[in-house]
Amino acid sequence: MDVNASLTFAARGAAVCSRSSRPAMPYKTNDKTEADALRRVVGRNIRAGREARGWSQEWVAEQVGVGSEMLSRYERGVLFPSHLTLLRLARTLGTTTDALFGVDAASRVAAEDALLRDFARLDAAQRGAVDLIVRDLASPGLAARRPIAASVVAYAGEEAPRKAPSKAPRRPSRRR
């Protein structure tokens, strides 16, 4: 086979590439485009919040714990802040992370209302099961100790299914 021959990749939509370039993955380009757009939206909202309050980049950067050049990169959409930095920015600007992402309160409230309507359509047993699952997920540590299926079974008052014993007998350990 010639070194300069083209290679065909059948993964994710048969992408063709030459030896000198990376495989074209169309599902990646959409993700990159969306990530670029999200960085720009968050950056514009950070800048708008800062300018609305009349604060300098230096002052906000100091409050958040980043350099003013880094804050400038966030505002221009060049870089995306870490989760912790995003939370600090929202707190400093007196807003929510939802607002920084461009999610308006009206659409969030509409989604919550739709969820409550769906919950109201459930019968009493189903509502109790959902309530138990939510409480388990909200309590620290409990969700990790008890799977969701066990929560539902516990609510129903039945015994949780147990693991079937393995067919192979356990070997004694050779620790001394």
Calpha distance 65→4 (Å, rounded): 50
For 96, list phi and psi in degrees, rounded to 5: -110, 165
**Is 14's pLDDT higher than 50?**
no
Q: In one letter, which amino acid is 96? A: T
For 122-176, write each residue's pLDDT tens digit. 999 999 888 888 887 777 765 455 555 565 555 555 554 455 555 555 666 666 5
Calpha distance 64→100 (Å, rounded): 15
Considering the domain architecture, whether residues 95 and 63 belong to the same structural domain is answered as: yes
Considering the domain architecture, whether residues 38 and 76 belong to the same structural domain is answered as: yes
Considering the domain architecture, whether residues 71 and 126 belong to the same structural domain is answered as: no
Considering the domain architecture, whether residues 94 and 50 belong to the same structural domain is answered as: yes
Name the DSSP class of 55.
-
- The beta-carbon contacts of 17-24 under 8 Å, at least 24 apart in sequence, are none
Residue 76, domain CATH: 1.10.260.40
Two tokens, residue 174: 């050779």
**Mean pLDDT for the stretch of residues 15-26:** 42
For 40-76, write each residue's pLDDT tens digit. 999 999 999 999 999 999 999 999 999 999 999 999 9
Considering the domain architecture, whether residues 94 and 126 belong to the same structural domain is answered as: no
Structural domain count, the chain: 2
The model's confidence at residue 26, banded by pLDDT at 50, 70 and 90, is very low
Two tokens, residue 94: 């007196």
Calpha distance 123→69 (Å, rounded): 55
Question: pTM for this one?
Answer: 0.48
Two tokens, residue 71: 């804050």
Range of the domain at 44: 34-100
